[in-house]
């Protein structure tokens, strides 16, 4: 199945290593990077968290706690659409990787689109609070290709079944979140992104407090 989806040009070997644990061995580094850069991958709406490892890793001690996602920061004033604000907000939501800009380098658009390495063991952030030129803003955050997660606590890995242990590329399969409660839901999900866009506020104006 994965060979058909990823279509590697130089071959791929899949080796089951236990419950929800699979080792993918690529014959070519370019094929492997293409798969990693395409994260997040979903199977039946559950997250397949991939991580590159090498021969020095000890299989029994491997853990996957993060996965790259695209996030969208909405309701931004034009003056906050820049790389500085993208980086600041990205580092609050997760770990900033880069921002999606137009072909001319502009980040001005309907929302700011940022690539972040998201800690899947922590609650998803729903909003960012910031101030700009005397006005306060509450900025909704939406996640592209968001997998099943717990609607009660907002954690993707809340129903984690098993962490993969392998030796080149590891996969982590998360079971479906079973509990539901107000606070999180479809409003935080974008299944497909429209045109990428971005904007920047002052990092010092950001409120890093976690969602309630």
Q: Where are the domains of the chain?
A: 2-65+156-173, 70-154+180-205
CA gap 132, 138 in Å, rounded: 11
Tokens at 188, concatenated? 């935080």
Angle CA 94–77–110, to nearest 5: 75
Q: What is the pLDDT of residue 193?
A: 37
Q: What is the pLDDT of residue 163?
A: 34
Q: What is the pLDDT of residue 204?
A: 45
pLDDT tens for 116-145 read: 999 998 999 999 999 999 999 999 999 999
The distance of Cα 34 from the centroid of its chain, to the nearest Å, equals: 16
Positions in the chain whose pLDDT score sits under 50 = 159-182, 186-205, 208-212
Place of tokens 């866009």: 197
Q: What is the pLDDT of residue 18?
A: 61
Q: What is the pLDDT of residue 21?
A: 67
CA gap 3, 52 in Å, rounded: 18
The DSSP output letter for 122 is: S
* Prediction pTM value: 0.72
């Amino acid at each position: 199945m994965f060979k058909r989806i990823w279509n590697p040009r130089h071959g791929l070997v899949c080796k089951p290593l236990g419950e929800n644990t699979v080792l993918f061995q690529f014959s070519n580094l370019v094929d492997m990077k293409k798969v990693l850069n395409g994260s997040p991958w979903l199977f039946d709406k559950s997250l397949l968290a991939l991580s590159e490892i090498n021969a020095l890793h000890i299989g029994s001690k491997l853990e996957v706690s993060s996965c790259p996602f695209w996030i969208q920061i909405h309701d931004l004033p034009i003056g906050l659409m820049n790389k500085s604000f993208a980086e600041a907000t990205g580092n609050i939501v997760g770990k900033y990787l880069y921002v999606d800009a137009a072909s001319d380098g502009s980040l001005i658009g309907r929302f700011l689109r940022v690539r972040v390495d998201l800690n899947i063991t922590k609650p998803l952030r729903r909003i960012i609070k910031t101030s700009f030129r005397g006005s306060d803003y509450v900025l909704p955050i939406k996640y592209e290709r968001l997998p099943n997660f717990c609607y009660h606590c907002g954690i993707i890995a809340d129903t984690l079944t098993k962490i993969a242990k392998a030796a080149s590329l590891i996969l982590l399969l998360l079971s479906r979140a079973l509990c539901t409660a107000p606070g999180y839901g479809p409003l935080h999900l974008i299944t497909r992104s429209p045109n990428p866009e971005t904007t920047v506020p002052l990092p010092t104006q950001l409120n890093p407090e976690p969602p309630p």
